[in-house]
Amino acid sequence: MSDGINLSEIEQEAAIQCDSDNLEIYADNHPFRLSLRVKTFESEADFNKFVKKVEQQVRSSLEYKEWKNYIIDVLGIKTCMITNEKIDECSIEVHHHLPSLYILVKALVNKKISNQEDFCSFDIATEAIEMHFKNKVGYVTLVKTLHEKFHNGFLTIPREFVKGDFNHFVSEYSQYLDETDLETIDMRMAASEANCTWARNDYPGNDGG
C-alpha cells in the first residue's frame, strides 16, 4: 500500500513519552501534558462527578466487600440493630451512617485541595478504604428494608447504635465539609435513644405483624 503516507513519521510524531518523576505523559509535538494527578477542579460539577466516581470505586472494590464480610462473619454482628432480626431470617446490610460514604470521600478530596496536594481517584479511594480498616467510620447493620427506609427519609437512627470511631471523623474532617454536610452530621449526631420517636418494637413502618 503506497498512498504517500509515511507511517513511521506519523508514529514518531504521535509517540507518547513519560515524565516518570511527575507521572505525566506527553508528546513532543503537542503542547498538552496529561498528569495522573490534579490539585483542583474547573467546576463544581467536575468535583461532584469525581466524588461520585470514587464512591463507586470504593463500593465495587474487593477490600470494601471484605470489610463488610468481616463485620458480619468475623465480628458476628449478624442482627439488625433496630429490629434484632438475624441474618438467617432476612437480608442484613451494613449502612454507613457517620459519615455517609459520599461525605467521607468528599471530605478526603477537600482536605487534599485545602492542603494543595496532588491526588487522583485511586489515592482518595485508598484513603477511604484505609479509614474503614482503621475503624474510623461509623456504621450500623440494618434489615434491607429499613436501610431503604432510612435513605428514603423515613427512619432516624440513634447514635448509640452506631459502631466504629465516628468521633474521629467528626473531629478531624468537619472543617473540610460544607454547611449542608455539617447539618447532616449534626442531625445524625443529635439523634439518640432518649429523643427518638420510636422503640425497637414500634418503629416507623412496623405493623406488628
Question: What is the value of pTM for the model shown?
Answer: 0.83
> Could you read off the pLDDT of 125-148 as tens digits, one per residue?
999 999 999 999 999 999 999 999
**Which domain, by its residues, includes 141?**
44-190
Could you tell me if 101 and 122 lie in one domain? Answer: yes
Is 179 inside any structural domain?
yes
Could you tell me if 73 and 165 lie in one domain? Answer: yes
How high is the pLDDT of residue 209?
40
User: And the C-alpha cell for 95?
Assistant: 449502612
Name the nearest CA neighbour of 13 among 4, 5, 3: 5
Number of domains in the chain: 2
Name the nearest CA neighbour of 98 among 178, 27, 31, 162: 162
**Per-residue H/E/C for 142-188:** EEHHHHHHHHCCCCCCCHHHCECCHHHHHHHHHHHCCHHHHHHHHHH
Q: What percent of the chain has pLDDT over 90?
A: 73
How high is the pLDDT of residue 13?
52
pLDDT top residue among 8 and 105:
105
Could you tell me if 75 and 120 lie in one domain? Answer: yes
Length, in residues, of the chain: 209
Average pLDDT over residues 16-22: 71
Query: Using CA atoms, how far apart are residues 14 and 30, in angstroms rounded to an integer?
Result: 8
Could you tell me if 181 and 141 lie in one domain? Answer: yes
Question: In terms of C-beta density within 10 A (0-12 exposed, 13-18 middle, 19 or more buried), how is residue 124 classed?
Answer: buried
Average pLDDT over residues 119-129: 97
Is 72 inside any structural domain?
yes
How high is the pLDDT of residue 30?
72
Name the nearest CA neighbour of 150 among 207, 85, 198: 198
Is 135 inside any structural domain?
yes
pLDDT top residue among 10 and 74:
74
Is 92 inside any structural domain?
yes
Average pLDDT over residues 62-86: 95
Of the CA atoms within 13 Å of residue 112, those in its CB half-sphere come to: 22
